[in-house]
Structure 1
Amino acid sequence: MNSNDEATTAPPETAGFDVREFARTAHGSHRGTLDLGSFAEEPLDTESVRLVRALRDMERATLPRVRDVLVTATHKDARVTAFLTTWMFERFWIADALDAVLDASPAARDLPSSAGPARWVLAERRERRGPIRRSLIANITGTQIVAEHVTTSLVDEWITQAAYRRLAGVSPAVASIINPVVEIKQRHIRFLAEESERRLGRSVRAQRITRRALRHSAWPLGSVDRSKHERTFFERHVFGDQSGRAEAGRIRAMVAALPGIGPGVASTVESRLLP
């Protein structure tokens, strides 16, 4: 084990995020607090409902993402594993709340199918590896892969948060449902940002591995398996106008500010968000 590997796990007390408190105060079902009756008087437009569905599908994809992470050296990190357990629980119930919004929205019945051929992008080919091959490669990488996992998850949360903010701007009724979700996800961002800063700051090798992952990931994470028309819709609807491009620029600046990542990788992430 080299010095960079040894530096990947700082004592839990060095981080400010309280994982035990996070687990103790985890948010479960939201259905009892949702004001769904307003959608009968002011139905959501088709594009907003389609964005709700896209976000629901992203939240639902958490379980397979965590499964892929936990077959790597990340499963040896008790702090990250404890976070992922509650993170997965909260995202499950966020998806359930979005399901309730879809059930209450007449336009959901007329949405185009989300199925279809996937987009083929050469840079994303590493994400198309099967789970066994991904596991073998990840375990060869060793404990430095934890930095990759927390950083790519952080960037993914930044991207989906931009989508939630776009959705919240549709109407006060939607904002009353989406704003609490954004607050929940802000805790996720806080943990991931702390871990990313710490791990990248301690290891040049972790920086190199993470830069490679950021350059080649499909955004939002899991998009490599989604149909190309759904990916195009998400990019156009969330990042296609002037305010969306400003959001993409904000994400670029945050990525560039991460230790050892730099403006080149950040610009690549931004370019792949834009339609």
Structure 2
Amino acid sequence: MGETTKPRTTPQPVTDEHHREGRLHSSPGQPIVLQTEFDVAAYTRDARGRIPVQADEVDFRSRREREDLAFLWRLESAALSDTRALLASWTGNEARITAFVATWAFERLWLGHAVRDLLTADGSPLPEPLRRGSLRARLRRVYVDRGLPLVAPVWTNIVGESVTAGQMVRLWVQEKALQAAYRAMLPRLDGEARHVVEEIVERRDEIIRFFRLEATVRIHRSAGERRAARLHLHRGWRPLRIVGVADPDERLALASIFRTREDRARLREARDEARRVIASRPGPTTPSGGPRPTPGLLSKKGHHGIRP
């Protein structure tokens, strides 16, 4: 038998036209991830967890307050649908946003549990919707559960990173609208119920800040992202419909929650503030020279994969 050939131990350079100085999805000195002043690492590290509820100190003035909170609990409990819709899209490539969203979903889980604990403090079951959902809402729910995870990756990858601006502006408005709804409930609550809802309102400040900063910087970065944000806030979109699904008691609950002129103005402001940002010009604090939005699959320009 012939001599056994020993493996070569000398490293050999890899020749791959797609790699640039050891990088596959980026170029040296050219960042690909958009950064804002929001500290995502601190947010994930400082997640506050569950809100304790003293069940024996919960007392509602009337049945209506309990039913309105049940409506908000159903919206809060749909956080998984929000998260899935976001991560199934192009935005799932953004590691920084994904890290925030994972903690945001965790925080919303505990916010939902806090409201649930208020509703069941006296040992009674959770209130059921007073009305049956419309056919349109039921069909929309089927699409969200079964169709959206298949469709979203396709069309958002065709559009590219611009779609992220639209998603960020929607979640900014949605979170601000939810905060406005809880704030509108405060004058009708006492004791432990009021204390818990005040905590929910306060915890939403950082969530709103993240989505506002992400949306604003992207809107001011390119015309395509500004256009995507404007399209996502079309006239038919409703901020208190999670992934577009209307709650059966939506009309009754919204009329009851936003019963004063000030409360309704606060709800309108949630959308109006975002529209003003879309219509405005970039300010002096808008980052310049940063990464440009990644184009869609139909573009001939360079593409990136996961963005760490």
TM-score, length-normalised on structure 2? 0.71
In structure 1, what is the equivalent of residue 239 of structure 2? 219
Q: Kindly indicate whether residue 181 of structure 2 is the aligned counterpart of residue 160 of structure 1.
A: no
| Residue number among 49, 55, 76 corresponding to 2:72 in the alignment | 55
In structure 1, what is the equivalent of residue 218 of structure 2? 199
Write out per-residue CA displacement over residues 226-272 of structure 1, whole angstroms, 9 at most, x where no aligned residue. Answer: 34x4110232123343223222342243123223389xxxxxxxxxx
- The answer as to whether partners of 1:35 and 1:177 remain within 8 angstroms in 2 is no
Aligned length: 244
Displacement of 1:135: 3.0
- The answer as to whether partners of 2:170 and 2:239 remain within 8 angstroms in 1 is no
Displacement of 1:106: 7.2
Displacement of 1:38: 2.3
In structure 2, what is the equivalent of residue 25 of structure 1? 46
Q: 2-side partners of 1:233 and 1:118: how far apart? A: 18
Structure 1 residues 223 and 205, CA gap change in structure 2 (3 angstroms)? closer
| Residue number among 131, 140, 145 corresponding to 2:163 in the alignment | 145
The structure with the largest helix share of the pair is 1
Letter of the 1:164 counterpart: Y
In structure 2, what is the equivalent of residue 189 of structure 1? 208
Q: Kindly indicate whether residue 186 of structure 2 is the aligned counterpart of residue 176 of structure 1.
A: no
Write out per-residue CA displacement over residues 28-68 of structure 1, whole angstroms, 9 at most, x where no aligned residue. Answer: 1223xx233222xx434222111211111111111122112
In structure 1, what is the equivalent of residue 98 of structure 2? 81
Runs of 4+ that moved beyond 4 A: 7-11, 105-112, 126-129
- The answer as to whether partners of 1:45 and 1:107 remain within 8 angstroms in 2 is no
- The answer as to whether partners of 2:60 and 2:66 remain within 8 angstroms in 1 is no
Structure 1 residues 255 and 175, CA gap change in structure 2 (3 angstroms)? same
In structure 2, what is the equivalent of residue 272 of structure 1? none
Write out per-residue CA displacement over residues 86-133 of structure 1, whole angstroms, 9 at most, x where no aligned residue. Answer: 00000001111111011015786665546422557xxxxx98993122
Q: 1-side partners of 2:31 and 2:163: how far apart? A: 10
Any unmatched runs of 5+ in structure 1? Answer: 1-6, 121-125, 263-275
Q: 2-side partners of 1:203 and 1:221: how far apart? A: 28
Any unmatched runs of 5+ in structure 2? Answer: 1-29, 138-142, 282-308
Displacement of 1:166: 1.4
Structure 1 stretch 104-113 or stretch 88-97: which is displaced more?
A: 104-113
RMSD over aligned Cα, in angstroms?
2.8
| Residue number among 98, 103, 119 corresponding to 2:115 in the alignment | 98
| Partner SS for 1:220 | coil
Q: Kindly indicate whether residue 88 of structure 2 is the aligned counterpart of residue 67 of structure 1.
A: no
Q: Which structure: larger Rg? A: 2
Letter of the 1:159 counterpart: A
Q: 2-side partners of 1:150 and 1:206: how far apart? A: 11
Q: 2-side partners of 1:35 and 1:242: how far apart? A: 32
- The answer as to whether partners of 1:50 and 1:108 remain within 8 angstroms in 2 is no
Higher RCO (CA < 8 A, seq sep 6+): 2
Q: 2-side partners of 1:109 and 1:11: how far apart? A: 42
| Partner SS for 1:130 | helix
